[in-house]
Amino acid sequence: MSSTVDLTSADVFDIMHTTRAMRRLKPDPVPDDLIVKILDAGIRAPNGGNAQTWHFVVVKDAAIKKAVQVIYKKAYDEIIGPRYSSAAPPPGSDEAKYHRQHVAVEYLTDHYHEAPVWIVACVNHSEGLSEQTSLIRMAGASVYPAVQNMLLAARALGLGASLTTRHMCFAEEADAALQLPAGYLSYAILPIGYPMGNFGPTGRGSLKEFVSFDRVGEPWDVLK
Ligand SMILES: Cc1cc2nc3c(=O)[nH]c(=O)nc-3n(C[C@H](O)[C@H](O)[C@H](O)COP(=O)(O)O)c2cc1C
């Protein structure tokens, strides 16, 4: 990754550095072949035991999206919104940037259902995964790598997307609105569409803030 961001680059590091949550999306339709390409990138991801218990639902049905948006907004109003209002900006951000993020989060909350296509990432829990809590906790680890592959693929194709999980604040209600069959649980919803704004670099803290050497808290002198 060079110091200036090349938004046209297909280099994997440039793609990773510019895959941001794109929350403002045009309602224009997205060609199905691009969605297929995204899904095909998704299933290249690692997953526990290669069991591939994942399942991806491509949702375009306006009534289903609206029913889930109502739940997504309820979670914002009751749980997430108040936290946003009181939280400090995260590393690599500042008051102004955090405010812009908050506004974008509110925008997506109101327009969630207007994204032309969603990919709902599910795990089929009826296939092999035991009822043991520890194994259930691992289930997400087998679907989020696929989700990240899909976000990177969308970015590479010039499509905006974001990883959203807030519907899980009311998970059972949301899965019912998604009309998932018994045994299937949703782990993420990716609203996808052509972005209204521009791609840009992700805002993160410096590596030094997040990396230790040998023991937590001990700096690694390789990182200046
Ligand atoms: C586990 C997880 C859950 C998330 N859920 C939501 C969500 O429900 N709604 C949303 O707008 N963004 C959600 N995000 C996106 C994050 O807010 C976003 O990655 C973060 O603010 C960094 O944004 P940036 O990549 O644009 O810098 C989620 C991200 C992760 C990793």
pLDDT value at position 1? 45
Cβ of residue 105 lying under 6 Å from some atom of ligand 1: yes
Is the pLDDT score of 37 beyond 60?
yes
Instruction: From the CA of 202, give the closest atom in ligand 1.
Output: 27
Rounded CA gap, 108 and 103, in Å?
9
Average pLDDT over residues 201-208: 93
**Residue from 5, 164, 168, 202 to probe ligand 1 pocket by mutation (most atoms less than 8 Å from CB):** 164
2 confidence band (pLDDT: 50, 70, 90)? very low
Cβ of residue 166 lying under 6 Å from some atom of ligand 1: yes
Instruction: From the CA of 108, give the closest atom in ligand 1.
Output: 11
pLDDT value at position 136? 73
Angstrom CA distances, 51 to 46, 123, 134, 140, stand at: 10, 11, 17, 13
Distance, CA 45 to ligand 1 centroid (Å)? Answer: 20
Is the pLDDT score of 179 beyond 60?
yes
Average pLDDT over residues 190-200: 96
Cβ of residue 126 lying under 6 Å from some atom of ligand 1: no
pLDDT value at position 131? 61
4 confidence band (pLDDT: 50, 70, 90)? low
pTM > 0.75: yes
Percent of the chain with pLDDT over 70: 94
The answer to whether 189 and 218 have CB atoms below 8 angstroms apart is no
pLDDT value at position 128? 61
Mark 125-159 as b/e (b = at least 16 C-beta within 10 Å): beeebeeeeeeeeebbebbbbbbbbbbbbbbbbeb
Instruction: From the CA of 80, give the closest atom in ligand 1.
Output: 8
Rounded CA gap, 7 and 19, in Å?
10
> Nearest C-alpha to atom 10 of ligand 1 is from which residue?
164
202 confidence band (pLDDT: 50, 70, 90)? very high
Give me the residue spans of the domains in the chain.
26-193
Instruction: From the CA of 72, give the closest atom in ligand 1.
Output: 8
pLDDT value at position 46? 97
pLDDT value at position 92? 84
- What tens digit of pLDDT does each residue of 124-150 get? 988 665 566 666 778 899 999 999 999
Distance, CA 221 to ligand 1 centroid (Å)? Answer: 31
Cβ of residue 16 lying under 6 Å from some atom of ligand 1: no
The CA angle 212-216-221, to the nearest 5 degrees, is 30
Average pLDDT over residues 166-170: 97
- What tens digit of pLDDT does each residue of 43-102 get? 999 999 999 999 999 999 999 999 999 999 999 999 999 988 888 998 888 999 899 999
Instruction: From the CA of 109, give the closest atom in ligand 1.
Output: 11
The CATH number that domain 26-193 falls under is 3.40.109.10
